[in-house]
Amino acid sequence: MAEVLPSGDKIRDYDSRVDPNAPADVAEAQAAKRQKSHSILGHFSLVQIHVITLVLVLASSGLVPFLDLAFALCTTAYIIFLNTSVFKPITKAPPPDVLGKMGLVQRWTLFTALVGLLLPTGYVLGGFVHGDQSALKAATPHLFLLGCQILTENITFRHDGVSLPVRALVPIFYNVRRLFTLVDWVKVDMSKGQESVGMHGAQTGPFSPEQWIMFGRILAASNLLIWTLNLFFFLIPVYLPRAFRKHYEMEFSATESRAKDAPDASQS
């Protein structure tokens, strides 16, 4: 099942890991379930395919600034550099879970998924219906970057060869950049009037022009508030220190283990 996590406003797959101590029939069932979850296009779930489609459509629409396109590419290259040169994986085993099962985190996850991804997607689609070009240009950069963040975090969490610090830095990088796009979105929606809506005062669908403009303002301000709280009160003070602490604990244990094995190897 795919789920958006607050540690980077991300979607990740909880694949059924095969328990080596499980009975043969249970292990086969677990393996079949995991294989089935990866069967769509080889390695992508249905939700991930939708996110990929969203990112590609937005990137090809001409509504995403070149700076944001370049940011996504440069961030990917920098993440690879960090994982291969600076924060290398300690072992080949899957890294431990940093946050654990926290009910508050899961509820925050669902809330950020609704306000940060689903509603802005509907807002962009509604911009076509209402002829609101300013809404499209203002909301698309945030939605594009969030889609790239989701895909990047999904890849880092699916591969055991990605270290914990790199996993923690991915949502921080994207969250910081998205705050700038959200500020621009708020400025645009707070300053525009009914003249920016293409229906010229006529009601289209369930929203009148006044309701549509107010909805955009509330959505933009809510996203700015939510992702500011997510960055400065969760990612930086909670998630990042835990990830680094766990990483260096693993590194210390591995170094200590190698030091103990060295005398045994020399004696043999």
**Which segment of 39-53, 131-145, 239-253 scores lowest on mean pLDDT?**
39-53
At a CB cut-off of 8 Å and minimum separation 6, what does 127 contact?
133, 135, 136, 139
- How confident is the model over 81-101, as pLDDT tens digits? 999 999 998 887 777 888 777
Q: Give the C-alpha separation, 12 to 113, whole Å.
A: 12
pLDDT over 70 (residue 265): no
Confidence band of 37 (pLDDT split at 50, 70, 90) = very low
| Among 139, 189, 191, 149, residue whose Cα is nearest residue 170 | 149
Mean pLDDT of all residues belonging to the chain: 81
Higher pLDDT, 160 or 8: 160
Q: Between the CA of residue 47 and those of 11, 12, 142, what are the distances in Å? A: 9, 10, 19
Confidence band of 1 (pLDDT split at 50, 70, 90) = very low
| Predicted local distance difference test score (pLDDT) of residue 9 | 44
Tell me the average pLDDT across 109-117. 89
**Which 3-state string (H, E, C) describes 134-192?**
HHHHHHHHHHHHHHHHHHHHHHHHHCCCCCHHHHHHHHHHHHHHHHHHHHHHHHHHHHC
Higher pLDDT, 256 or 199: 256
pLDDT over 90 (residue 80): yes
| Predicted local distance difference test score (pLDDT) of residue 20 | 54
Q: Give the C-alpha separation, 112 to 114, whole Å.
A: 5
- How confident is the model over 130-147, as pLDDT tens digits? 788 888 899 999 999 999
| Predicted local distance difference test score (pLDDT) of residue 255 | 81
| Among 121, 141, 128, 103, residue whose Cα is nearest residue 197 | 128
| Predicted local distance difference test score (pLDDT) of residue 41 | 43
pLDDT over 90 (residue 258): no
pLDDT over 90 (residue 74): yes
pLDDT over 60 (residue 268): no
Q: Give the C-alpha separation, 138 to 178, whole Å.
A: 12
Three-class SS of residue 4?
strand
Confidence band of 103 (pLDDT split at 50, 70, 90) = confident
Tokens of 34: 């995991």
| Predicted local distance difference test score (pLDDT) of residue 24 | 64
Q: Give the C-alpha separation, 218 to 43, whole Å.
A: 37
The answer to whether 79 touches 170, Cβ cutoff 8 Å, is yes
The answer to whether 19 touches 27, Cβ cutoff 8 Å, is yes
